[in-house]
Amino acid sequence: MSARHKVVHVVVAGDIGGAERLLLDLTTRPVESNAEHCVALMTPNPKLRAYIAASGVALRERGPIRADPLSYLWRAFGPVDVQWLETVLTEERATIVHMHTYASHIIGVRAARRLRLPSLRTEHGVHHYTDPSCALFRSWALRHTDSVVAVSDYVRRFVSRRAPFAAGRIHVVRNGVDTRYFAPVPSPPPGPFTLALVCRLEPWKQVDLVIRAAAHVPGLHVRIAGDGSARGALEELTRKLGVTDRIVFMGYQPDPRSVIAACDAAINTSRDEPLGLSVMEALSMGRPVVAFDGGGIPEIVQDGATGWLVRRHNVEALAATLAQVAVSQAEAARLGIAARAFIEREGRIETMCEGYATAYATLRYGQRAGV
């Protein structure tokens, strides 16, 4: 194997979500990824800073930043932050620049181009392609990024349609799960059928649909692990529908395993979910998943085999599926066995890291595009 690459990951973010969790899964495995890693972080969130620092990965911090639109424009296009990033790349002797969040795309490409370093970015989702506020220089950043990793084939197809000029540079490396950490656990004891919902509480996650559907299924319980801008409205909705005794908000959980273990199945109702790392973690623990049939979900949830796919994306269809699911804990346990087998076969974190190792080697020693 060739000498390890030195990869500096550029992260400009305010939340702790799937992208940030994947970042640590990758950067804490230098052998599997054949790279030494460092994170160049710009965030207004001290919890995200502490989350990355606790992993032990090398961390270079810009210091507290502001997250308003004008600050983003100055950070992306101004001279100060890109000079800081250039200094980090130089001092860390970077051989590859790896961007992870939309706010990191322009500044990461600018610094990489100035230092003539190859650049790669992971497309963790597609929302910045549909959000008009993200349109400024979106195509410029993509044109000048040498390689793109999509976390699912759905994301690859979506980006290829929106930006055909980049299609030949997009490769799929599916998110992976630490199968030893997210190990299978016994089914919970007999009792009310309980669903685990692990996600950021933001509007596009459509948690309100879960609450409304659960209100139509007597006896169904839901444990919601996560926090976000929609939490207050969601809690008010549970009070309005009279289901506070069956739907519990547990707040952000740095380790969701206990929540998943206490439930019979997991649920995801995100709009155009790019893949769903929390879905894969539930599958790895032997819990089948209820989810809408869209985005990258069908790549990891097989209807009737590892979970249940809801074809129509509305409360009525979801409630009908939940009513069928909630009648049999034994069926959920049976599907959970197949769910774990699927992750062991196709969703291991070692496979993900090997995919990035290949992407780094191809980028560094193969033909570079756009520079």
Look at residue 1 and tell me whether its pLDDT is greater than 80: no
> Could you tell me what percent of the chain has a pLDDT over 90?
85
**CB distance 153 to 172 below 8 Å:** yes
Whether 287 and 359 share a structural domain: no
Look at residue 368 and tell me whether its pLDDT is greater than 50: no
Which H helix or E strand runs over 184?
none
pTM given for the model: 0.90
Angle at 41 (CA atoms; ends 166, 167), nearest 5 degrees? 5
Q: Which tens digit of pLDDT belongs to each residue from 6-43?
A: 999 999 987 888 889 899 999 999 999 999 999 999 99
Whether 144 and 254 share a structural domain: no
Name the band, by pLDDT with cuts 50, 70 and 90, for residue 2. Answer: low
Return the sign of the alpha-carbon dihedral for residues 186, 189, 193, 195. negative
Whether 27 and 85 share a structural domain: yes
Q: What are the φ/ψ torsions at residue 14 (nearest 5 degrees)?
A: -120, -10
Distance between CA atoms of 62 and 88, rounded to whole angstroms? 10
The pLDDT of residue 132? 85
Residue that the structure tokens 């599958």 belong to: 283
Mean pLDDT of the chain: 94
The domain in which residue 162 lies consists of 5-176+349-365
Whether 279 and 244 share a structural domain: yes
The pLDDT of residue 152? 96
Whether 226 and 330 share a structural domain: yes
Confirm whether 89 is domain-assigned.
yes
Q: Which residues contact 232 (CB under 8 A, 6 or more apart)?
A: none
Distance between CA atoms of 117 and 364, rounded to whole angstroms? 9
Name the DSSP class of 166.
G
Whether 146 and 239 share a structural domain: no
Average pLDDT for 229-242: 97
Whether 240 and 228 share a structural domain: yes
Confirm whether 184 is domain-assigned.
no
Print burial letters for 133-144: b (CB count within 10 Å at least 16), e (below 16).
eeeebbeebbeb
The pLDDT of residue 109? 97
Whether 198 and 283 share a structural domain: yes
- Token readout for 29 is 């495995």
Whether 120 and 84 share a structural domain: yes
The pLDDT of residue 202? 92
Whether 244 and 206 share a structural domain: yes
Q: Which of 305, 259, 301, 251 has the alpha carbon at shortest distance from 276? A: 301
Whether 149 and 10 share a structural domain: yes
Q: Which residues contact 75 (CB under 8 A, 6 or more apart)?
A: 12, 42, 65, 81, 103, 107
Whether 216 and 342 share a structural domain: yes
For residue 91, the tally of other CB atoms under 10 A from its CB is 11
Distance between CA atoms of 21 and 255, rounded to whole angstroms? 11
CATH code: domain of residue 254: 3.40.50.2000
Q: Say how many domains are in the chain.
A: 2
